[in-house]
Structure 1
Amino acid sequence: MPRAIVLTNPSSGKGRGARMRDEALPRFHGAGWRTTSLTGRDADEALDLARVAVAEEPDALVLCGGDGMVNLGLQAAAGTEVPVGILPAGTGNDFARYFDLPLRDGVAAAARIVHGSPRTIDLARIGDRYFGGVLAAGFDAVVNERANRMRWPKGQMRYNLATLAELRVFEPRRYVLELDGVERRLDAMLVAVGNGPSFGGGLRITHGAELDDGLLDVVLIKPLGRMELVRTYPKLFDGSHVSHPQYERHRVKRVTVASAGIVGYADGERFGPLPLTVECVPSAARVIA
């Protein structure tokens, strides 16, 4: 009888996490799976629970929540044989989108885990922390940092207001990049390092990035006027920004990104001020898809 340990962030997606878990558990039981349901009081406790769960070697560590919960679970599962299953209940759900998983449908998402098979993927690593998606290290990271300082409003509107506020004052930043040992100095609006192709709920900033090629995709958007940046933004949803003359892409195993005054975010989580060194860890995790 297969066993799943289900770790939930009940507050994900304004309470969708708990509802999605409650939809999914009967589907597991109906398929003959044993389940253990866990909920951490905060991120630190949830990470401890994930590590204990992985040590028990279940057939699946099922993560119910958004990209932050998936990121937390990857810290525990990376480098082990325990596969991760996803019940996507967050706002962006980019990691789930990589595998075309059902969004906000607990029964359908549980069915994918029950009938799916593990796929081996790469992860990106900064120090001893992993991420599966994209490191934001430019305009988008500055917006994240501003939004996290705002107490009002809640949800997506807070990020919309932070974007508008930064658009009024943001100027291109000076970057120093080290791409597989080759130094590059340039001005840019945005620098992103992708293990996967999208962030922010489907913005395909690192369009073309593959999860199992042993490489990171480093994307630069070189200086643009504010109105041109606004016009280019919608193209991120389908990847058509790759034809813009200020777009530049590099594929590397390791990159260091340095710029003053920017804090890097990956999988929606704060990874710390630049400089940050990112390396690709091939075949680091298994995801049921």
Structure 2
Amino acid sequence: MPRAIVLTNPTSGKGQGARVRDEALPRFHAAGWRTTSLTGRDADDTLDLARVAAAEKPDALVVCGGDGMVNIGIQAVAGTGIPLGILPAGTGNDFARYFDLPLRSGAAAAVRILHGSPRTVDLGRIGDRYFGGVLAAGFDAVVNERANRMRWPRGQMRYNLATLAELRTFRPLRYVLELDGVERQVEAMLVAVGNGPSFGGGLRITHGAQLDDGLLDVVLIKPMSRRELVRTYPKLFDGSHVTHPQYERHRVRRVTIASSGIVGYADGERFGPLPLSVETVPGALQVMA
């Protein structure tokens, strides 16, 4: 009898995590799977639970929540061969979008896990931490930092207000990049490193990045006016920003990014201040897709 350990963030998606989990569990049971359902007290406790769960060698570790929960699951199963199942219940759900998983139905997402085949994909690695999506290291990361300091409002509106606040004073940043050993100094609005193509709920900043090519996509948005940045923003939803003259893309196996005062975020999680070195880890993760 197959066994899934289901790890849930019940507060994901404005409280949708528990609902999505409760829709999914009966589907597993009807298919003859045993399940163990776990909920952590906070992010650190949840990561501990995920690692203990992976040590039990289940047939799948299933995470229910947003990209932050997926990132916790990735830390636990990367390189182990244990497949990761995803019940999307967050706000952005970018990693789930990569696999075209159902975003609003726990039952439908469970069916995909039950009847899908494991797909082997790459991960990005910074030190001993992994990410599956995009590392933000510029204007987008500054917005994340401000939003995390804000207590009001909740949800997406907090990030919208943080964006407006930072846009008033933001200036291009000076970067030192090392791309597969070649150093380059540039000014840019942001640098993003993509294992996958999108972040922020479908913003395709690293449009064209593939999950299984053994490479990272490093995207630069070079200096532009605030007005032009606002005009370009909607193009991120369909990837058409790649035709902008201030867009630049490199495909590498390793990149080091340095810029004063910037904190890097990946999968929406704080990874720490620059400089950060990122390397690709081919075939590190299996996803039930």
Q: Describe the superposition over 1:7-43 as per-residue Cα deviations: whole angstroms up to 9, x where unpaired.
A: 0000101110000000000011111111000000111
Q: Describe the superposition over 1:265-287 as per-residue Cα deviations: whole angstroms up to 9, x where unpaired.
A: 00000000000000000110100
CA distance in 2, matches of 1:229, 1:81: 42
The residue identity in structure 1 corresponding to 2:53 is A
- Does residue 1:229 correspond to 2:229, yes or no? yes
Aligned to 2:45: 45
- Does residue 1:120 correspond to 2:120, yes or no? yes
Which residues of structure 1 form unaligned runs of 5+?
A: none
Q: Describe the superposition over 1:165-206 as per-residue Cα deviations: whole angstroms up to 9, x where unpaired.
A: 011000000000000000010100010000000000000000
Contact map agreement 1:176 1:258 (CA 8 A) in 2: yes
- Does residue 1:163 correspond to 2:163, yes or no? yes
The residue identity in structure 1 corresponding to 2:197 is P
1:282 is paired with a residue whose SS is strand
CA distance in 2, matches of 1:20, 1:209: 29
How far the C-alpha of 1:143 sits from its partner, in A, is 0.3
CA distance in 1, matches of 2:241, 2:121: 26
Which residues of structure 2 form unaligned runs of 5+?
A: none
1:196 is paired with a residue whose SS is coil
1:33-182 paired onto structure 2 within 5 Å:
33-182=33-182
Moved over 3 A (4+): none
2:80 is paired with a residue whose SS is coil
The residue identity in structure 2 corresponding to 1:101 is L
1:64 is paired with a residue whose SS is strand
- Does residue 1:260 correspond to 2:260, yes or no? yes
- Does residue 1:238 correspond to 2:269, yes or no? no
CA distance in 2, matches of 1:206, 1:154: 27
- Does residue 1:270 correspond to 2:261, yes or no? no
The residue identity in structure 1 corresponding to 2:104 is R
CA distance in 2, matches of 1:152, 1:107: 33
How far the C-alpha of 1:222 sits from its partner, in A, is 0.2
The residue identity in structure 1 corresponding to 2:196 is G
How far the C-alpha of 1:2 sits from its partner, in A, is 1.1
Contact map agreement 1:16 1:104 (CA 8 A) in 2: no
The residue identity in structure 2 corresponding to 1:80 is T
CA distance in 2, matches of 1:152, 1:43: 21
The residue identity in structure 2 corresponding to 1:201 is G
How far the C-alpha of 1:162 sits from its partner, in A, is 0.4
The residue identity in structure 1 corresponding to 2:11 is S
Equivalent pairs counted in the alignment come to 289
Q: Describe the superposition over 1:41-95 as per-residue Cα deviations: whole angstroms up to 9, x where unpaired.
A: 1111111111111111111000000000000010000010100000000000000
Aligned to 1:250: 250
CA distance in 2, matches of 1:72, 1:128: 13
How far the C-alpha of 1:264 sits from its partner, in A, is 0.4
CA distance in 2, matches of 1:154, 1:88: 19
The residue identity in structure 1 corresponding to 2:157 is M
How far the C-alpha of 1:257 sits from its partner, in A, is 0.4
Aligned to 2:18: 18
The residue identity in structure 2 corresponding to 1:87 is L
Contact map agreement 1:101 1:109 (CA 8 A) in 2: yes
Aligned to 1:208: 208
TM-score by length of structure 1 reads 0.99
TM-score by length of structure 2 reads 0.99
How far the C-alpha of 1:98 sits from its partner, in A, is 0.2
The residue identity in structure 1 corresponding to 2:89 is A
CA distance in 1, matches of 2:229, 2:144: 17
CA distance in 2, matches of 1:2, 1:209: 34
How far the C-alpha of 1:240 sits from its partner, in A, is 0.2
Aligned to 2:191: 191
1:273-284 paired onto structure 2 within 5 Å:
273-284=273-284
CA distance in 1, matches of 2:82, 2:104: 24
